[in-house]
Amino acid sequence: MTKERTDASRQVPFRAGGFSTLAEALDYAALSGNSLTFHDGRGGIAHEMTYADMARQAKAMAGRLLEKGLMRGSRVALMATTEPEFFIAFFACQYAGLIACPVPYMTRLGMRDEYVENVARMMRTAGVAVALGSPDYLGAIRDAALKADVPMVLAYDELAGQPRGAPHLKPLGPDETAYIQFSSGSTSAPKGIVISQQAICANTTSILRDGFHAQAADRGFSWLPLYHDMGLVGSFLSPLVGQHSMHYMAPHDFSRRPWLWVRLISKHRCTISFGSSFAYELLVKQAQRAKREALDLSRWRIAGVGGDMVRPEVLLAFAEEFADSGFRRAAFMPSYGMAEMTLAVSMHAPEEDIVLDVVERDSYKTMRRAVPAKSDGDEKSVRAFIACGRPLPGTDVRIVDDQGRRLGEREIGHIEVKSPSLMDGYFKNPEATEIAMSEDGFLKTGDMGYWLNGQLVITGRVKDLILYHGRNIWAHDIEWTAEKVDGVRTGLVAAFGVENLDGQERVVVLVEARSRDRAENVRLCEEVKSRVHHAIGVPCEVYLVGRNTLAYTYSGKLARSKVREAFEKGEINLVDLP
Amino acid sequence: MSGREEIVGELMKLLEGFNVKKVPLAPDTDIPAQLELDSVQVMDFIMQVEDTFDINIPQHEVAEIRTLNDLADVVMKRKGA
């Protein structure tokens, strides 16, 4: 069995973090005897790699990168495919003193052109010196690099065959940067979040010790994309800092065969695995298929939930559906975090049942108070939230009103956070950094929430963020896409998410009509709809509104939340179309 | 089932199951833009194509597919491979 082999090759005791750099953490994990298993799209094993293999290959690749004449601190774009090469390349940067910048890989039907544009913007933002990617996707990466004036592009395997100079490696030190994470936010104006070695070491250690109560025998499973903070930090770097054995599957393979998630957890006796509410919902829908093979989910002690709004009814349905497979509801670990804080801000205590809070819908929407529902109201009058745990030790969280005053229990306000895991700032973007930070050094998350017995309850994510099927979509990106349609004027488009009764969001786009011609207006709406669907990958409802409907603030910036409020109250007149 | 026309015909049949909006289908129908499929439906459709033709379509090729013609090219290439 795997366990015996692991114990036999373990040369060092289990250590839950507390390293001063990522390179130091991998050097330690290399002595643990533990390994990473990469599954193919049908659940079979495609590759296995021990941490020792990974460290050795990363050092070899570091030498090859330095041989290219890269200066210390140069940025290296890495296509974050779920395969050993990305893991190796990420750590090659750590050992070589280079700054890794993970970028997405192409996932959606017909998305090539948009993908190239988006990645080119990321490369330009980070001033990338070299781009590395999987050979299968090299054409697209090359096109992006060309647009971004990146001088060098190499496939992972191509680099492996190149000469490796006298490798005197000086890994990134405790006072240096660890990597640049692109915000899961806007693709039209990406921001590079600079994460220091100190921040990543602090956050991963806290996730392991305070969040997971990590044990030597923990074994994780993840299909999360590695270009997002949840995947990169939660399912790659945290397990590595704790020398945990891991199983991985590519995100696109998960969306093809979601049932493999629970099957592989069962088969490989995994104890920790994260997903979004949307992912758990997919599994509820596919439960019968998943259960065609006998499942044993009893070892799954941490079923993390994050990345989107935690939806109570989904978790309850999942727990019920998989109870006969040994799944326990107390395994759910609703969590809250963001890339600007490296990842985790608060995590629910392990082995404790989830906390459901049912409040009056009206008072939470209009009075900013979470008033407990009096009786079992119908779904129109009540709203259920799930608490996302206490802030991790050393994390200072405050909830404030519009004037910045701290609020008490059950009062809904703006969430602000400060901790050793805070980013250094947005890469070469002091303006954006200044906007994101309070004067006394707290990150203004833009999220809303309230306190419940010391636990954080999130009532809404950033106002400009639309949560669609587990994806974060920036309203600005939708507006920007719509503005490219002939006849749509810049600034006269508003996009926002409208929450349905089940807590899901649908995307609404309002466009100010310029023409009185019916046929022209119909064409305009159809074209906006199809452009947005194609470029962003979400269906949306498009409505025409009369001139001067869309409200502007004094700065000329669209007051999206005001428009949304008016739309939800039915105060906006929509132009009739046949 | 190897001729191009037959393949396009078979693909149309499969796609019809996802064509809620009843968009008239043609070889140059832009699948993501005109059919408004969500990501789960797209994956379902691709899996049905894989099962029907007994092929594997790698993800990097999926991103390059826009029209039924593009998809037919991929199917023919994979069948021949």
B30 chain-A contacts, CB cut-off 8 A: 110, 534
Residue B80, chain A, CB below 8 Å: the answer is no
Nearest to A200 by CA among A215, A186, A179: A179
Environment class of A161 (CB within 10 Å of its CB; exposed 0-12, middle 13-18, buried 19+):
exposed
Contact A110 B56 (CB under 8 A): no
Residue range A43-60, pLDDT digits in tens: 999 999 999 999 999 999
* CA dihedral angle for residue A500, residue A504, residue A509, residue A510, rounded to 10 degrees: 20
pLDDT band at A390 (very low <50, low <70, confident <90, very high): very high
The reported pLDDT for the residue numbered A517 is: 86
Contact B63 A469 (CB under 8 A): no
Q: How many CB pairs under 8 A join A and B?
A: 76
Domains along chain A? 2-244 (3.40.50.12780), 258-398+446-462 (3.40.50.12780), 465-568 (3.30.300.30)
Mutation target to probe the A interface, by most A beta carbons within 10 A, among B37, B43, B45 is: B43
Q: Report long-range pairs for A461-468 (Cβ below 8 Å, ≥24 apart).
A: A461/A308, A461/A309, A463/A560, A463/A561, A464/A560, A465/A185, A465/A497, A466/A495, A466/A496, A466/A497, A466/A505, A466/A507, A466/A538, A467/A308, A467/A309, A467/A497, A467/A505, A468/A497, A468/A505, A468/A506, A468/A507, A468/A538
Contact B64 A110 (CB under 8 A): yes
The reported pLDDT for the residue numbered A576 is: 80
ipTM score for this prediction: 0.80
Cα distance between residue A58 and residue A50, in whole Å? 12
Mutation target to probe the A interface, by most A beta carbons within 10 A, among B37, B38, B39 is: B39
Structural domain boundaries of chain B?
Answer: 4-80
Residue range A7-34, pLDDT digits in tens: 568 899 999 999 999 999 999 999 999 9
Environment class of A330 (CB within 10 Å of its CB; exposed 0-12, middle 13-18, buried 19+):
middle
A137 chain-B contacts, CB cut-off 8 A: 60
Residue range A137-170, pLDDT digits in tens: 999 999 999 999 999 999 999 888 887 776 689 9
A530: closest chain B residue by CA: B33
| Lowest-pLDDT choice from A76-80, A142-146, B16-20 | B16-20
pLDDT at A364 over 90: no
pLDDT at A3 over 50: no
The tokens describing A502, both together, are: 């089940």
Contact B62 A108 (CB under 8 A): yes
pLDDT at A299 over 80: yes
What is the dotted CATH code of the domain comprising B4-80?
Answer: 1.10.1200.10
Neighbours of A57 (CB within 10 A): 19
Residue A41, chain B, CB below 8 Å: the answer is yes
pLDDT at A211 over 50: yes
The reported pLDDT for the residue numbered A184 is: 63
pLDDT band at B2 (very low <50, low <70, confident <90, very high): low
Give residue A113's Cα distance to chain centre. Answer: 23
Mutation target to probe the B interface, by most B beta carbons within 10 A, among A82, A109, A118, A284 is: A109
Cα distance between residue A515 and residue A308, in whole Å? 38
Contact A107 B42 (CB under 8 A): no
Residue A529, chain B, CB below 8 Å: the answer is yes
pLDDT at A556 over 50: no
Residue A541, chain B, CB below 8 Å: the answer is no
**Cβ-contact A571, A536 below 8 angstroms:** no
Query: Mean pLDDT in chain A?
Result: 90
The reported pLDDT for the residue numbered A2 is: 45
**Cβ-contact A426, A445 below 8 angstroms:** no
CA of A322 vs chain B CAs: smallest distance (Å): 22
pLDDT band at A462 (very low <50, low <70, confident <90, very high): low
CA angle at A245 for the pair A254 and A350, rounded to the nearest 5°: 80
pLDDT at A557 over 60: no
- Relative orientation angle of helices A51-66 and A22-29, to the nearest 10 degrees: 140
Nearest to A294 by CA among A325, A269, A259: A325
SS3 content of chain B, % helix, strand, coil (to 5): 60, 0, 35
Give helix then strand counts, H and E, for chain B.
Answer: 5, 0
H or E segment at A410?
none
Residue range A120-141, pLDDT digits in tens: 999 999 999 999 999 999 999 9
CA of A533 vs chain B CAs: smallest distance (Å): 6
Residue A286, chain B, CB below 8 Å: the answer is no
A528 chain-B contacts, CB cut-off 8 A: none
Q: Which amino acid is at A4?
A: E
B59 chain-A contacts, CB cut-off 8 A: 105-107, 136, 250, 252
